[in-house]
Chains A and B, each alone.
Chain A
Amino acid sequence: MRFFFDKNTWQEIFGSIGKNRTRTIITVIGVLWGIFIYIALAGASKGLDNGFERNFETVAKNSLWAWSQRTSIPYAGYKIGRSLRLRVGDAQVLRNRIPDIEYIAPINTKGVFGGEGAQVVRNLTSNNYPVYGYVPEIAKMATQKIYDNGRFINEEDTENIRKVCVIGERVQQELFEKDEEPVGQFIRIDGVYFQVVGVHKFTRTTPFGTDGDIYIPFVTFRNLYNTGDNAQFFTIAAYDDADVVQVEKDVKRVLKGIHRVHPDDERAFGSFNLGEIFSRIMGFARGITFLSLIVGLATILAGVIGIGNILLISVKERTKELGIRRALGATPNEVRSQILLESVFLTMLAGIIGIILGAGVLSIINKMTEDNTDFPYTNPTVPIPLVIGALLVMVVLGTLIGLIPAQRAVSIKPIDALREE
C-alpha cells in the first residue's frame, strides 16, 4: 500500500505522462471515447426505453381491442361474407369465460373510422369532432388526465343516461375563449345539449385517439345514435401477469362461438394487441441496450489496448531509466507495480472524464428532447452499478494490458538497460 500513497510513485507517473504529453492525451482520448460511447449508448437506450414507457404510460400496457368484420369461411348454414356485429352482452360472456380479463368495455364511435364526426355547436361556433360512447371502466384502463376541476364519465352518468361529455383540449380551444372555464358549460352535439364535465389532455388511449375527441356515456351515445345493443369494438385489459397474446386468441375464440363463426376463420374478427406491440417495442429497446453494452465494451477494450501500446513504447523509451532504478535497488516487483499503476491510473483518469462527458451529453440531449412528447426519448440515465461495472472492467483490462509492458520492463537485465541510449 505504501507504494500507492508515496509521492515518488505519483511523481514517477506524472513525470512519465508529462514527458509524452501529446501521445498520452491521444491515448487517453482512446479510452475516454470508449467509456463516453458506452455511457452515451447505455443512456440513450435507457432514454428510448423510458420514452416508450412514457408514451404507453397513459394506457394499460396489457390491453387489446377487438372488433367484428365479415366472415371468410361459410359455417353452420351461414354464407361467406356475413357481416358480424358485436353486442354489448358479448362483453359479459367474454368476462365470464376468460378469467385473465380484468376489464372489458364496449365502445361506440362516430367519425372515428371514416364518416363525418358529430356536429358540435357552441354559441356561434361549430365544428365536427369524433364522439366516443364510453363506459366508466375506460378510466381504469386508460388514465385520462382531467383538469379544470373536471371529471371523467362516472357510474351515475351511465345509470341516469346523463347528457354529459368530456371534451378534448382542441375542442376547448376551438369552442371556448382562452380564459373561459368550459366545465359546467353546455355544447350541442348533433342537436342535443350536453354539459361539459371535464377536459382531457391528449393521451393516446387508443391507437386512433386525437385531442379533438369528445367522450359521452355509452348509454347516452346509444340513445343519441340509436345503436341499440351493438358495440363497435371492445377494449379489453388483461391482468398484469396474464399472457395478452393468449387472451387475444381466447377473445376471438369465444366471439366465434357466440356469433357462430368457423373456428379457422381468421378474418371474422379484427384485433389490435397493444400488449404485444408494447412487449415487441420493449424487446427492441432491450436489444438496443444489449447492443450498446457490447459496442461500448468493445470500444473501451480498443482504448485500453491503446494504453497498453503507449506504455510499451514508453517502457522502451525509459529502458535506461528503469536500469538506473534497478541499479539503485528497485526490485522487479517495484518496477512492475509502477508500470501497472500507470496503466490503471491512465485508464481510470480517462474513464472518469469519459463518464462525466457522457453524462453531460446525455443531460443536454435530455434537455433538448424533454418537451417533445412525440419523440420516444426521456430521462436517459445509466444505472450506477453499470457505471461502476464499466469502471471495474476498465481497471481490470487496464491492469491486464499493463502487465505486458510491465513484464517487458523487468525482462531486461539491469546491465543491458543501463547500456541503452
Chain B
Amino acid sequence: MIEIKDLHKSYKMGSNTLHVLKGINFNVKEGELVAIMGSSGSGKSTLLNILGMLDVADSGEYRLDGIHIKNLNETKAANYRNKFLGFIFQSFNLINYKTALENVALPLYYQRVGRKERQEKALKYLEHVGLKEWSHHLPSELSGGQKQRVAIARAMVAEPKVLLADELTGALDSTTSYEVMGLIQKINDQGNTILVVTHEDDIAHMCKRIVYLRDGVIVEDKEIEQVRASEYVQ
C-alpha cells in the first residue's frame, strides 16, 4: 500500500539546515496497523505529513497504492488526500460551528457527494463510532473522547485507503485513549490500513507493527509479536 525509498527532508532554520529525515525506507502492506514511534524531534510527524501529502520530501520515492506521489500541484494533492487518505489529529481539528454530523460529512462534500447521501453516510459512520445520538451536537458539547471519535468517523467516511493518525490519544486520558485505540483496532480488523504516530508505548503496543525512529532514521521495525518477545527476553 505504501512504499518509501530513501526519503529525505530538511528544513531551513535561519542560516542552519535541519535534516529531519535522513533516508527513510519502509513499506506498509494493506490491512496493517503500524505505530511510528520516536521521541520528540525524531521526525515521526514529518514522515506522517509527507505520507499525508501535507508536506513534500526533498528527495526519495513515495508510492501510495501504486501511484508515484511526486511533483503534485495543490489541487491534485487535495484530490489524492480526499480519495486515498483519512486524517486523525491529536487536537481533533473539528470545525467548531459545525455539528458532529456536518463535520463527518465534510470530506464527502469535497468528493461532490449529494447532500442526502452525505448525511446518510456520515450518520452511518457516527453509528460505527457509537455517536449516532450525538450527531446534532456541536464539538463544544462533546467530551475529548467523543470529539476524537467524531474525528475518526470523519477520517473513515470517505472510505480512504489509509488512515493516518497523529498522536490521536495525546489529548485524552488513559481510559479514553484505550477506548479510542480499541476502536482503531476494530476498524483495522475490517481491513483498513492504519498508521499511528505516537510516543506512548502502551498505545504503540496496541498496533500490529512498531517502527522506531531516532534522529531521522528508522532504528527498529518489528512486528508486535517480535517486540513482545524481545521485551519478554529482556
Known interface pairs A7-B115, A331-B75, A332-B75. Does A418 touch B93 (Cβ–Cβ under 8 Å)? yes
The residue in A6, A8, A19 that gathers the most chain B C-beta atoms within 10 A of its C-beta is A8
Query: Is A415 positioned at the interface, with any CB of B under 8 Å from its CB?
Result: yes
Within 8 A of A (CB), among B97-115: 97-98, 102, 105-107, 109-112, 115
Contact B55 A415 (CB under 8 A): yes
Whether the pair B107, A329 counts as a contact (CB closer than 8 A) is: yes
Contacts of A18 in B (CB 8 A): 97
Contact flags B106-138 to A (C-beta < 8 A → 1, else 0): 110111100100000000000000000000000
Minimal beta-carbon separation of B229 from chain A (angstroms) = 37
CA distance A329 to B105 in the complex (A): 12
Selected from A6, A7, A320, A327, the residue in CB contact (under 8 A) with B54 is A327
Whether the pair A329, B97 counts as a contact (CB closer than 8 A) is: no
Q: Report the number of A-B residue pairs with Cβ-Cβ less than 8 Å.
A: 70
Query: Given A11-B102, A333-B75, A415 and B110 touching (CB < 8 A)?
Result: no
Residues of chain B lying within 8 A (CB to CB) of residue A414: 54
Give the B interface residue count (CB, 8 A): 29
Cβ–Cβ < 8 Å partners of A329 in chain B = 78-79, 81-83, 107, 110-111, 158
Separation in Å of the B165 CB from the closest CB of chain A? Answer: 13
B110 A330 Cβ-Cβ under 8 A: yes
**B212 partner residues in chain A, CB cutoff 8 A:** none
Given contacts A2-B112, A334-B110, contact A327 B52 (CB under 8 A): yes
A227 CB to closest chain B CB, in angstroms?
Answer: 89
Considering residues A2, A320, A328, A330, which has the most beta carbons from chain B within 10 angstroms of its beta carbon?
Answer: A328
| Known pairs A11-B98, A15-B97, A18-B97; A331 contacts B115 (CB<8 A) | no
B71-99 contacts to A, CB under 8 A, are: 74-75, 78-79, 81-83, 87, 89, 93-95, 97-98
Contact call A8/B102, Cβ cutoff below 8 A: yes
Set of chain A residues within 8 Å of B158, measured between Cβ atoms? 329
Tell me, yes or no, whether A61 is within 8 Å of chain B by CB: no
Q: Specify which of B49, B87, B93, B102 is in contact with A320 (CB 8 Å cutoff).
A: B93
A18 to B52, CA, bound (A): 32
- Interface flags for A1-31 (1: CB within 8 Å of B; 0: not) read 0100011100100010011000000000000
The reply to whether the CB of A326 lies closer than 8 angstroms to some CB of chain B is: yes
Closest to B87 in A: A327
Q: What would be 23 A-B contacts, judged by CB atoms less than 8 Å apart?
A: A6-B115, A8-B105, A8-B109, A11-B98, A11-B102, A15-B98, A18-B97, A19-B97, A325-B106, A325-B110, A326-B74, A326-B78, A326-B81, A328-B81, A328-B106, A328-B154, A329-B83, A331-B75, A331-B79, A332-B78, A410-B74, A414-B54, A418-B89
Give the interface of A toward B (CB within 8 A). Answer: 2, 6-8, 11, 15, 18-19, 320-321, 324-334, 410, 413-415, 418
Task: Enumerate the 10 nearest inter-chain pairs by beta-carbon distance, A residue then B residue, closest first.
Answer: A329-B82, A329-B110, A15-B97, A415-B54, A331-B78, A331-B75, A328-B107, A324-B93, A415-B55, A332-B74
